[in-house]
Amino acid sequence: MQKTSDSGTVLKNGAKSHSIPVSVVIPTRNEARHLTRCLEAARRFSQIYVVDSQSTDSTVDVARCLGAEVVQFHYHGGWPKKRQWALDSLPFENDWVLLLDADEILTPALVDEIGNAIRNPNFTGYRVFLRINFLGRDLRFGAHGFWKVSLFRRGKGHFECRLRDQDHSMSDIEVHEHVVVEGRVGKLKHPLPHHNIESLNRYLTKHNEYSNWEARVFSQAARQPDELRPALFGNQAQRRRWLKKRFFGLPGSPILFFLYKYILRFGFLDGVPGLIYCALQSTHFFHIKAKMYEIKCSASTTAKRD
């Protein structure tokens, strides 16, 4: 895979002699505005795949121009979704895989840290802290960020499946499924900046799909066999899931959620972007609860007819 950087010796397989042996996977759908910055920041890695979902903008042209290999993913419902399909299907040339979104921009310090981390034989994967930039401002309050497993050894990490009966209304990409890693997982100290420069209209469209999925997940009676177990004293993902499940049962929980993020966690210190972000997060919470109620009513009506 040919890179566009002028530095470094290009080898026969397209990798540069001093490049970092990590295979990067970037899922896309109409991400042309984000993708240039993302790919330029990831140029030091030896293999980059852009896994596209039939974009209608210039996403594919941007990816190819910057040296990434583009593959198309056609979603037909069910499982796997886009990232897990990529892990199952792509011919990775490296022992380590890095999952990025097009609006996540690696810093030089984080790239250097990843290059050192993959040399440590004691770890199979690493969590990175996602730092959110919303409407042009780095959010520092309101419980704004979270840890996620983005870097792991090839074949040692897979996405949990929380819902097998999925369709196009729930997005073709994993929403809040987490990567489960076989072995010891460490933490990278440098954060991963997440820059959302798309319109709020697209943000709301995406989160409408996400709330469809979450409503179905939280309405099902039992967990899936490989689903990450909610636990108050587990890792951050397990704690968040444990708290969310119980929080849904509280009357007025979307309002309480807003007050928690905006007041108790000082979201108001992030100015207008902080207010909008906290309000949208609590509205998303409300949409999930409303759709859960709709599912319950629909099931009750069906049961009466039967």
- C-alpha 94/C-alpha 172 separation (Å) is 26
pLDDT tens digits, one per residue of 35-58 = 999 999 999 999 999 999 999 999
Q: What are the Cα distances from residue 160, in Å, to 149, 150, 180, 181, 228? A: 12, 14, 6, 10, 7
Alpha helices in 22-78 (DSSP H): 32-41, 59-65
pTM, entire model:
0.88
What is the full DSSP assignment across 89-104? HS---SSEEEE--TTB
Residue predicted with more confidence, 305 or 187 = 187
- Decide if pLDDT at 187 tops 90: yes
Where do the structural domains in the chain lie, given as residue ranges? 20-305
Averaged pLDDT for residues 175-192: 95
pLDDT at 149: 96
- Decide if pLDDT at 124 tops 90: yes
pLDDT at 262: 96
Which residues lie closer than 8 Å to 119 by C-beta, 6 or more apart?
A: none
What is the full DSSP assignment across 214-259? HHHHHHSSS--TTPPPP-TTS-HHHHHHHHHHHHTTSTTHHHHHHH
pLDDT at 13: 38
Alpha helices in 79-165 (DSSP H): 82-89, 108-117
Lowest mean pLDDT among 9-13, 270-274, 277-281: 9-13
Furthest-apart CA atoms within the chain: distance in Å: 70
One-letter amino acid identity for 214? Answer: E
pLDDT tens digits, one per residue of 211-248 = 999 999 988 877 777 777 788 888 877 888 888 878 87
- C-alpha 156/C-alpha 129 separation (Å) is 21
- C-alpha 216/C-alpha 68 separation (Å) is 35
Give the total residue count for the chain. Answer: 306
What dotted CATH number matches 20-305? 3.90.550
pLDDT band at 197 (very low <50, low <70, confident <90, very high): low
pLDDT at 9: 27
Q: Phi-psi category of 106—alpha, beta or left, where left has phi over 0 and alpha has psi -120 to 50? A: beta
Q: Provide the β-strand partners of residue 69.
A: 49
- C-alpha 2/C-alpha 8 separation (Å) is 12
Averaged pLDDT for residues 182-195: 96
Q: Is 112 helix (H, G, I), strand (E, B) or coil?
A: helix
Lowest mean pLDDT among 147-161, 164-178, 278-292: 164-178
Averaged pLDDT for residues 117-142: 94
- Decide if pLDDT at 148 tops 70: yes
- Decide if pLDDT at 14 tops 70: no
pLDDT at 17: 46
Omega of the bond leading into 254 within 30 degrees of 0 (cis)? no
Lowest mean pLDDT among 114-118, 173-177, 202-206, 300-304: 300-304
pLDDT band at 31 (very low <50, low <70, confident <90, very high): very high
pLDDT at 35: 95
- C-alpha 303/C-alpha 23 separation (Å) is 49
pLDDT band at 178 (very low <50, low <70, confident <90, very high): very high
Q: What are the Cα distances from residue 294, in Å, to 18, 174, 287, 289, 306? A: 55, 23, 10, 9, 18
pLDDT at 10: 30
pLDDT tens digits, one per residue of 283-304 = 999 999 999 999 999 888 887 7
